[in-house]
Amino acid sequence: MKNSLKCLTVATAMSVFAVPALAAEEVKIGVPSWTGAQAIAHLLAAVVEMRIGGKAELIPGNNATIFQAMDQGKGDIDVHPDVWLPNQESFTKKYVDGAGTVTLSSNPYEGNQGFCVSKDFGEANNITDIADLGRPDVAAQMDSDGNGKGEMWIGAPGWASANVNEVKVRDYGLMDFVEPIRAEESVKTARVKDSIAKGEGYAFYCYKPHAIWYMFDVKMLTEPTYDPAKYVMVQPSDDADWFEKSNVTTKDALKKVQIAWSNSLPERSPAIAEFFSNFSLTADDVSGFAFEISGNGREPEDVARDWVEANPDRVDAWLGL
C-alpha cells in the first residue's frame, strides 16, 4: 500500500512537471512613420505588457508592408495602429473586404486634413484659401532654393495622403507655382519652426489630431467643400497609372481612423485580440500624445506607460474589466 501511494505520488508529481507552462501572449505591432501612429503603437504595447502581461514587439514599416504582413497571418506584423480612411481604403478593400484576412476596428476617432501656413505668413499676405498658394507673390516667398517655385510639404514617402496631395497640387492648378515635396515628417516640423523663426513663407500638409497645433501658431486653408463626385483617387497599389487616372478638386472628407489586426491573431493571442476589439481613443487623446513626443521631446514609450498608469478606468474598459 505504501509503495502504491509512493508510486502514485511520484507519478502525480511527474505529471505536474510534465505540463508545459502557458506561454505569454505575444503581438508584433507595425509602426508607421507619423507621430500619431507611433504614439498609438507604443500605447498598445504598454497595455499588452503592463496589464495583460504579454510581450509586444514594435516593427517599423509603411502601410503596404504592414497590411501585407497582416494578410499573410504569420505573426511577422499583427496590427496597424492608425488606419486612416478613406486614405488607406485601397488596403482595406483588398485585405478586409476582399481577402477577409484583416479585421478593422469599429471604434474610430475623427481626423481632418488639409494644408496649412503659419498665421503670421497667412495674415501678412492675405492667404486664406488653397488657391492663394498659386499667387506669384506668395509662391516667391515660399521659394527657398531659387528654382522659381515655392516648396510645399505634401507628406512622407509611402503615405497614401501624400499621393492625394500631389494630385491636388496638380488639379488645383498649382504645379506652375508650387513644388510638392515628400520627406519624413521630422523634416517638415523643422522647416515649419525655421520658417516661422525667420519670417519666411512655407506651406505644408497638416492634419488633426497632431502635435503641430500645440507647437506652432498655424492655420488650415480652406478648400472647396468635399464632393465625392470631384474626389476620384486611385492609389499606386491599385494602378500603376494612378496619377493620370486620379482627379481631386475638393477637400477631403472627415476621416475615420482606427486600428486593424490580422485575423490570425485571436487564435494565437486571444486576450490581446479582445483588447484590440475594445480599444478606442479620441482625437484629443492622440493630439496630446503627439505633442508630448514631438513638442516636449519625450520618448513614446514613456508617454504611453505614464498614460496607462494615469488612466486605469479607461484601460479596464478596454480589457473588459
The string of pLDDT tens digits covering residues 42-92 is 999 999 999 999 999 999 999 999 999 999 999 999 999 999 998 899 999
pLDDT in tens, 162-211: 999 999 999 999 999 999 999 999 899 999 999 999 999 999 999 988 88
The stretches of the chain forming alpha helices (DSSP H) are: 2-18, 35-47, 63-72, 89-92, 119-124, 136-141, 160-171, 185-198, 212-215, 242-245, 265-268, 270-278, 283-290, 300-310, 312-318
10 Å CB burial of residue 99 (0-12, 13-18, 19+) is exposed
Span 115-119, average pLDDT: 97
Tell whether the model's pLDDT for residue 275 goes beyond 50: yes
pLDDT at 273: 97
The rounded distance, in Å, linking the Cα atoms of 246 and 193 is: 33
pLDDT at 24: 85
Orientation of helix 283-290 relative to helix 35-47, angle to 10°: 100
pLDDT band of residue 23 (cuts 50, 70, 90) is: low
Q: Which of 103, 110, 53, 108 is nearest to 78 (CA)?
A: 103
pLDDT band of residue 11 (cuts 50, 70, 90) is: very low
The C-alpha cell at 299 is 520618448
Q: Could you give the count of Cα atoms lying within 13 Å of 279 in the half-sphere of its Cβ?
A: 28
The pTM score is 0.72
Distances (CA, A) of 321 to 51, 106, 179, 316, 318: 11, 19, 52, 5, 8
